[in-house]
């Protein structure tokens, strides 16, 4: 098998013949042309891997030929060696400045040319390998990006549809995954008897693994809710589900609640998650003092023996609930401080009456506080209003 295709361009037939003889003997396939114009025609028919060209030729000089080869994206990667009778460093530099890859002074030793051609083909092989790997990487990256796009769309589909209306509640969300796809999830499930099951969760880590688990968290929550019971039973069931399914260091913080409009009570369980804020009369707008719905419980998915504690709060018509994941309040600013729960409470002390406007105000003011630091973690914010 030929080692590669070499095009020899020289107006002197003896030089073409000598080079051709040695190159063929060394196992290369050789084409010859007497002028640059002829060579370009030849290249229209077959693409050489390497060109050895004289500099001084009639019709088209070697300079011009080199410029045309190197100026065309289709041929610029062809390894170009100039044969030059011109003496001196200046002419050698000018040859390379044209874009030639190497230069051999005339008169030359055929062995020297062969050695240069051999080393050039080593380089060509390396370049081809790099190009092949690049192509593979690029196509792999494109495939991954396309899949990530699909996965992100799928994940968005797991979120409640907006505008959210259920059982006398109006809610909206802001969902900002850090890596296009993330480990945050929330759910609002209306129950037949008029109460509503609520869940927000934040899976450890980022990206695809977290997203896969977040889908599982949602399924597990819906299954638990279907089994009946309340937030305490749901938390225990979800903890067992996650312990079975996740690896070490994969777990979720979660907050679960059940809102019963008949009794105006919100029963809730914290599983290592940041405590939601209740704004009594929050749907009227104006100044409100937030109540932190604090709970105490460990993350889901660590130890099936963990137990949880049921908490209870009042939740009246006109009240507002703000659920969030820690990415919202744990951005470190340049002065090394973070918004934290206290800062979020300050922001929530005065929000617009309308649900959508309230969510926007929280996000805008949080971003303004962090500025210029961006969110680093997945961020989810849910504003849920009980209609008066």
Residue numbers at the binding site for other proteins (CB under 8 A): 202, 204-206, 248-251, 253, 270, 272, 275, 294, 296-299, 302-303, 306, 326, 330, 332, 338, 376-377
Q: How far is the CB of 330 from other proteins (least distance, A)?
A: 6
Nearer to other proteins, 169 or 203 (CB): 203
DSSP 327: G
Nearer to other proteins, 101 or 378 (CB): 378
Q: How far is the CB of 332 from other proteins (least distance, A)?
A: 7
Nearer to other proteins, 82 or 181 (CB): 181
Residue position matching structure tokens 């080593």: 122
Q: How far is the CB of 248 from other proteins (least distance, A)?
A: 4
Nearer to other proteins, 15 or 302 (CB): 302
The distance in angstroms from the start CA to the end CA of the chain is 85
311 close to 293: Cβ distance less than 8 angstroms: yes
Q: Where are the beta strands (DSSP E) in the chain?
A: 5-9, 29-33, 50-54, 79-84, 102-105, 164-166, 169-176, 184-190, 196-203, 252-260, 265-271, 277-279, 290-292, 311-314, 320-324, 379-386
Q: How far is the CB of 176 from other proteins (least distance, A)?
A: 16
Q: How far is the CB of 203 from other proteins (least distance, A)?
A: 9
Q: How far is the CB of 253 from other proteins (least distance, A)?
A: 5
Start-end of H helices in 72-206: 89-97, 110-158
Nearer to other proteins, 195 or 204 (CB): 204
How far is 240 from 238, CA to CA, in rounded Å?
5
Q: How far is the CB of 167 from other proteins (least distance, A)?
A: 30
Nearer to other proteins, 4 or 237 (CB): 237
| SS3 at position 383 | strand
106 close to 84: Cβ distance less than 8 angstroms: yes
Q: How many CB atoms lie within 10 A of CB 372?
A: 7
Nearer to other proteins, 263 or 307 (CB): 307
Residue position matching structure tokens 């063929």: 24
């Amino acid at each position: 098998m030929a080692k590669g295709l070499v095009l020899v361009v020289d107006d002197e037939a003896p030089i073409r013949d000598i080079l051709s003889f040695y190159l063929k003997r060394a196992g290369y396939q050789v084409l010859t042309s007497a002028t640059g114009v002829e060579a370009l025609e030849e290249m229209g028919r077959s693409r050489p891997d390497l060109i050895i060209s004289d500099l001084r030729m009639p019709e088209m000089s070697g300079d011009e030929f080199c410029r045309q080869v190197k100026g065309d994206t289709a041929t610029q990667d062809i390894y170009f060696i100039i044969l030059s009778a011109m003496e001196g460093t200046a002419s050698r530099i000018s040859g390379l400045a044209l874009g030639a890859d190497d230069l051999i002074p005339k008169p030359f030793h055929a062995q020297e040319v062969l050695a240069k051609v051999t080393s050039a083909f080593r380089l060509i092989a390396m370049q081809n390998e790099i190009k092949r790997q690049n192509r593979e990487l690029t196509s792999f990256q494109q495939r991954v990006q396309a899949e990530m796009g699909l996965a992100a769309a799928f994940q968005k589909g797991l979120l409640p549809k907006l505008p959210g209306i259920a059982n006398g509640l109006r809610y909206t969300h802001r969902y900002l995954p850090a890596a296009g796809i993330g480990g945050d999830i929330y759910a609002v499930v209306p129950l037949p008897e008029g109460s509503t099951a609520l869940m927000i969760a934040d899976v450890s880590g980022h990206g695809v693994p977290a997203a896969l688990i977040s889908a599982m968290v949602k399924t597990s929550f819906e299954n638990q809710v279907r089994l009946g019971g309340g937030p305490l039973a749901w938390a225990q069931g979800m903890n067992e589900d996650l312990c079975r399914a996740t690896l070490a260091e994969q777990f979720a913080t979660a907050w679960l609640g059940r809102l019963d409009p008949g009794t105006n009570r919100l029963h809730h369980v914290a599983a290592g998650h940041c405590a939601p804020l209740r704004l009594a009369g929050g749907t009227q707008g104006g100044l409100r003092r937030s109540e932190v719905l604090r709970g105490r419980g460990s993350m889901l998915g660590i130890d099936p023996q963990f137990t949880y504690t049921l908490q209870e709060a009042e939740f009246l018509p006109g009240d507002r609930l703000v659920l969030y994941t820690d990415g919202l309040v744990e951005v470190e600013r340049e002065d090394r401080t973070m918004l934290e729960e206290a800062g979020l409470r300050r922001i929530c002390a005065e929000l617009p009456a309308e649900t959508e406007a309230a969510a926007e105000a929280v996000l805008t003011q949080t971003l303004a506080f962090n500025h210029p630091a961006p969110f680093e973690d997945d961020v989810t914010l849910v504003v849920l209003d009980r209609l008066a």
